[in-house]
Amino acid sequence: MTDRITLTGLRAYGRHGVYDFERARGQEFVVDAVLELDLTSAARSDEVADTVHYGELADRLVAVVTGEPVNLIETLADRLIEVCLADARVRAATVTVHKPEAPVPYAFADVAVTMRRTR
C-alpha cells in the first residue's frame, strides 16, 4: 500500500502518567498518525466521503488524549491506533505519541512511543 494520510504534530493536553503529579497538573502530548489505505476512489470522485476525513480523525484522537488518563504512553498509543483502524478502509496505521514534558531528570529532545498495526 503506497497511499497515506498523515497527520503530524497534533497537540492536546492530557493527564497521563505513572506519577500522581503528572495526573494532577497534566501536560501536552503530541500525536503523529499515518493511515495507509487506497485513495483511488477519493482521488477520482473528489468527495470527502470516499476518504478518511482528517479533521474528524483529529477530533477523535484529541478526545482520547484529553479523555481517561492512563499510566503509560504505550497504552495511550494503543488507544489512538484503535481510533485510526476504526475505519474499515484503513489497512494499516502508525501512531507516535510524543511526551515532551516527560519526567526525565536530564535534558532531552523527546520521549516517544511508536506503534504500527495492520489488518
Q: Please confirm, yes or no, whether 99 is among the known catalytic residues.
A: yes
CA angle 21, 23, 27 (to 5 degrees): 90
Q: Are 6 and 61 in contact (CB under 8 A)?
A: no
- The CB-side HSE value for 97 (13 A sphere, CA atoms) comes to 27
Across 69-101, b (16+ Cβ under 10 Å) vs e yields ebeebeebbbbbbebbbeeeebebbbbbbbbee
Choosing from 25, 65, 99, 109, the catalytic residue is 99
**Catalytic residue set:** 99
